[in-house]
Amino acid sequence: MIQSGFAKYICERVSRDVYQESSDYLLLLRVANRDREALAEMYARFQRPLFRYLFHLVGHKELAEDLLQEVMVIIWQKAHTFRGTARASGWIFGIAHHQAFKALRRDGSATCLELEVVMDLVDEQATPEADLLRRTTHEEVSLALACLTPEHREVLELAFFQDFACKEIAAIVGIPVGTVKSRLSYARHALKAALFRNGWET
């Protein structure tokens, strides 16, 4: 019964993922055909995850919101270039990655992430990393995340909060899969170490 239940869960999860990707792909095709309603629907679908990703990279709410608008404009302009060789969501996050790091090169990395935004985003998640952060104070979370480089915050966000596989992250970020895995391992250990240094206890 346990195996049967697990198999059913896997099938349902795969079915949901396949349906979601098909839906994202079709939506992107509509945007490529200059369908403004499709663009509005895409914004409604991706606004929250894209904002979360951008904020965890740049650390400031207003900048993340500005970058989100830039990403949507670029999607509107370049949707016709999507070739379907990767997930539509991966293509979209690739654009967000490019815009975020362009802003970081221009403005520099945040030394502290805005507290209320961090905890608001963490409260939405149900992952071991989110649970770890949920059991800390706002200041501890902000300091711990800020101890990570944008590159390490990025892989943590994409893997554990956006549910991308290492191969997909490699395509989004433009680095080898092995580098993704090493950054991910480092980020997890560094996050926990930073929390302990700041007085966090289990």
Any idea which fold 111-202 has?
A: Arc Repressor Mutant, subunit A (1.10.10)
Residues spanned by CATH 1.10.10.10 within the chain?
A: 111-202
Q: What is the pTM for the complete model shown?
A: 0.77
At the top level of CATH, which class does the domain 1-110 belong to? mainly alpha
Residue scoring higher pLDDT (14 or 33) = 33
Give the angle subtended at the CA of 38 by the CAs of 32 and 39, to the nearest 5°. 80
What is the per-residue pLDDT for 22? 80
Most confident residue range from 28-32, 137-141, 150-154, 186-190 = 28-32
Q: Which helix (H) or strand (E) holds 110?
A: none
Q: Indicate the pLDDT class of residue 130, thresholds 50, 70 and 90.
A: low
Residues spanned by CATH 1.10.1740.10 within the chain?
A: 1-110
Radius of gyration of the chain (CA): 18
CB atoms within 10 A of CB 165: 14
C-alpha separations of 144 from 69, 71, 128, 141, 180 in Å: 28, 28, 16, 5, 20
